[in-house]
Amino acid sequence: MSHLMLRIRKGLFALRHPSCWRALRWGVLPTVDHRPMFARVRPDLVLDAGSNRGQFALTSVCCLPGIPVHSFEPLPSEAAVYRAVVPATALCVLHELALGETSGEAQIHVSGRRDSSSLLPIAELQSRIFPKTGEVGVQTVRVARLDDLPEIWKRFDRILLKLDVQGFELAVLKGAVEALRQCRYVYCECSEVELYRGQALSDEIRSFLLTHGFRPVMQFNPSHAEGRLVQADYLFERG
């Protein structure tokens, strides 16, 4: 599907859902390409790691009405937009921090396209395949282990953990071993090639999740470049 057609689909979806209307004024569109995944899951909580401007949270609110969403976004500029566009209810909570294997502070490599920013250095291949995603600066951000935030997830047992953290997926998972026991689903963007220096690729992430009781059930949104699969979203389910 072309980029233009996807934007049209996102716009039409947003127009049909009043909870997205405020986001339209900010130029933020819900991620309708994740709707097939939402049709397969029945979570009692959504943990949205790497929320950017709230695109995934908006889709979650529309596709899973009444299900709480806790989002994590470390960049202040993107967190400010999230607060402006996602309906301010008790069901939607934003945490202005990154998730990782250890708590503290870290340097985030800010991309020319903010949604490609990462706690790992941006590799040359990322910049070549995805134009304008090269590093434009560095910021210090807060990082927390999900296991250190049990007040968010402890009382739930069918959690959907979504990871879109630009190569930092395995670090987030290693800091969430206890929380994973409360998860039913993990929805993770995985790379087949090194887009960020030192990142874990899809096989390593799949192996980690298998050791914690999750099996891959479906691939979504594959992205190809230079004649090969570059990355895709994978749904893992416990059981």
In a domain, 74, yes or no: yes
In a domain, 105, yes or no: no
In a domain, 225, yes or no: yes
Domain range for 34: 3-98+150-238
Cα–Cα distance, 114 to 91 (Å, whole number): 25
In a domain, 64, yes or no: yes
Q: Which pLDDT does position 215 carry in this prediction? A: 97
Amino acid, res. 147 = D
Q: Which pLDDT does position 180 carry in this prediction? A: 98
DSSP state of 122: B
In a domain, 202, yes or no: yes
CB 81 within 8 A of CB 73: no
CA distances from 154 to 83, 90, 151, 180, 214 (A): 25, 17, 6, 10, 19
In a domain, 193, yes or no: yes
* Per-residue pLDDT tens digits of the chain, which is 239 residues long: 567 777 888 888 878 888 888 888 899 988 888 999 999 999 999 999 999 999 999 999 999 999 999 999 999 999 999 999 997 777 899 999 999 999 999 999 999 999 999 999 999 999 999 999 999 999 999 999 999 999 999 999 999 999 999 999 999 999 999 999 999 999 999 999 999 999 999 999 999 999 999 999 999 999 999 999 999 999 999 98
Domain count, the chain: 1
Secondary structure, 3-state, 99-111: ECCCCEEEEEEEE
Q: Which pLDDT does position 23 carry in this prediction? A: 87
In a domain, 145, yes or no: no
In a domain, 201, yes or no: yes
CB 93 within 8 A of CB 68: yes
What is the value of pTM for the model shown? Answer: 0.94
DSSP 186-220: EEEEEESS-SBTT---HHHHHHHHHHTTEEEEEEE
CB 141 within 8 A of CB 117: no
Report the CATH number that the domain containing residue 178 is assigned in CATH: 3.40.50.150
**H or E element, residue 137:** strand 135-144
Using CA of residue 25, residue 29, residue 35, residue 37, what is the dihedral sign?
negative
